[in-house]
Amino acid sequence: MSDSQDHPNHPDVDQSDRVLPRNLRQTGDPGIEMLVSTRVRKSPFFDKSFNEEGAWRCTVYNRIYHPRGLVEPEDGGAMAEYEALTEAVTLWDVAVERQIRVKGPDAEALTDYVITRDATEIDPMHGKYVILCNEDGGILNDPILLRISDDEFWFSISDSTLMQWIQGVNVGMDFDAEVDEIDVAPMQIQGPLSEDVMIDVAGESVSEIPYYGLMEAEINGAEVLISQTGFSGEKGFEIYVRDASKNAERVWDPVLDSVKAHGGMQIAPGHHRRIAAGILSWGQDMDHETSPFQVNLGYQVPDEKPGDYIGKEELERQQSLINEGEYPFNLKLVGLKIAGEPIRDYAPDFWLISDPQTGNECGYMTSPWWNPDLETNIGLGFVPAEKLQEETDVRLNDEIYEDDLDLEFEVHLPDRYSEGDESVFATVAEVPFKESVNPSAREQAKLGAKQEASD
């Protein structure tokens, strides 16, 4: 095809700074079935989620089947699950967050070398949200890192292979540490009544766990590790079941009973709520060719960190260019408030974004969804960094978004959401769209800056 406009993968969107461009072809949902086989692992909660609670669809995450729909569409679907999450309490099967343990005399040194943040500042029985980058500064994974003791760390990983990479670093750099996946399966209890559930199953002491703090406990005779963390922006906890192949259901049953007693239910992970909170999803909003500076994770790159870490030289080079006013990437992730009919389910494609002034394709959506609290579609998407620099006062080296901007794009939604029009307008918006119960370091900095401005 000689005309690029007719090319199915939309080369007008400038992905020239990537080795492997995103597949932007718009294919929709072909209505295929998921093949269940022994090539993909079943989590210890598989029977509970699919056979007992009736999860009706799934995806594959970290090579494990992952429930992505509990409430049937005719009963309200994902938005009924949103209501349970934001108004009551919910249980999530997140055993797909495989636990990679680094243990041994050099556990701290190895961990510090593979993450951008300073591992030496994490106290035992505490955690941090961290990123790991390759030598080109691309984000390999963005796990929650749990420090169990002086010589033991758990990487609660997002959807990308990490264990073999850390094992390779361990061998290549001759660290004295063991790197393995361990028999631990997490579940999340998320929502405003999550603490009530946790008190039911683990006792009053859970109320003393600080955000990102850890506590050893026992539930129904099984040993667990509890953290105050989650992927929702709501108040929440995670329960890491030890010896999960034996104990998973032993813990699951009393937790789900308490969730239901408090008016809640099991749901799929709340992507509609995490988008509102500005929480990123690896594979959708970023990948191994995405720099932290493209997705508002610049705060994860320290100005000063003792010692070396993988990607340090390249990330410092990028930071230096940005400080000099030269943004080294074509596209940058922004928040968008999007017109059109309510988007009430997962997007099957990276929907295209165009410049309304020229009509040219220029970017793509990664994570769109309807937000009933804001009464609008919201989402995250990549747009040209040059346009942001030219037409707004957005500081592209700054992880803190400005207020909603008078800058519009067009998003090419499927017919079901666009009322038959070819595109709908979208306005660049402040992120997070909705505040989290426990603000991130980025959000805290933004709130502080706003307070200073008001003073």
Domains and CATH numbers, the chain: 1-33+330-455 (2.40.30.110), 184-263 (3.30.1360.120)
Q: Are 142 and 286 in contact (CB under 8 A)?
A: yes
Return the biggest CA–CA distance within the chain.
68
Q: Is the pLDDT of residue 19 over 90?
A: yes
Q: Which of 375, 134, 164 is nearest to 276 (CA)?
A: 375
Q: Is the pLDDT of residue 103 over 70?
A: yes
CA trace torsion 291, 304, 166, 107 (10° rounding): -160
Amino acid 397: pLDDT:
55
CA angle in degrees (0–180, nearest 5) for 96-215-122: 80
Amino acid 313: pLDDT:
97
CA trace torsion 181, 64, 44, 94 (10° rounding): 90
End-to-end Cα, the chain, rounded Å: 59
Q: Are 219 and 255 in contact (CB under 8 A)?
A: yes
Amino acid 285: pLDDT:
98
* Residue with token string 């050099």: 106
Per-residue pLDDT tens over the stretch 228-284: 999 999 999 999 999 999 999 999 999 999 999 999 999 999 999 999 999 999 999
Which of 46-60, 399-413, 440-454 shows the highest mean pLDDT?
A: 46-60
- CA–chain centroid gap for 394, Å, is 23
Amino acid 389: pLDDT:
83
Amino acid 364: pLDDT:
98
Residue 17: both structure tokens together: 């700074």
Q: Is the pLDDT of residue 449 over 70?
A: no
394 — pLDDT class (breaks 50, 70, 90) = low
pTM of the model: 0.94
Q: DSSP letter string over 95-162?
A: TTS-EEEEESTTHHHHHHHHSSS-GGGPPTTEEEE--EE-TTS-EEE-PEEEEEETTEEEEE--SS--
Residue 383: both structure tokens together: 């747009």
CA distance to 106, 222, 244, per residue, from 151 (Å): 7, 24, 22
3 — pLDDT class (breaks 50, 70, 90) = very low
Q: Are 425 and 410 in contact (CB under 8 A)?
A: yes
Q: DSSP letter string over 291-310?
A: -GGGTT-GGGS-S--SS--T
Q: Is the pLDDT of residue 444 over 70?
A: no
Q: Is the pLDDT of residue 438 over 90?
A: no
* Residue with token string 């969804």: 369
Of 389 and 204, the structure prediction assigns the larger pLDDT to 204
Rounded to an integer, what distance in angstroms lies between the CA atom of residue 280 and that of residue 291?
13
Within 10 angstroms of residue 87's Cβ, the number of other Cβ atoms is: 14
Per-residue pLDDT tens over the stretch 332-365: 999 999 999 999 999 999 999 999 999 999 999 9
The DSSP element (H or E) to which 250 belongs, if any, is helix 244-261
Within 10 angstroms of residue 117's Cβ, the number of other Cβ atoms is: 21
- CA–chain centroid gap for 126, Å, is 20
380 SS3 class: strand
Average pLDDT over residues 428-446: 78
Q: Are 98 and 198 in contact (CB under 8 A)?
A: no
**Burial track 436-454 (b if 16+ CB lie within 10 A, e otherwise):** bbbbbebbeebeeeeeeee
Alpha helices in 336-437 (DSSP H): 385-391, 415-418
- CA–chain centroid gap for 316, Å, is 24
Amino acid 399: pLDDT:
44
Amino acid 452: pLDDT:
54
118 — pLDDT class (breaks 50, 70, 90) = very high
Amino acid 140: pLDDT:
98
Q: Are 339 and 377 in contact (CB under 8 A)?
A: yes
Residue 428: both structure tokens together: 């660049």
Of the listed ranges 299-313, 324-338, 408-422, the one predicted with least confidence: 408-422
Average pLDDT over residues 119-146: 98
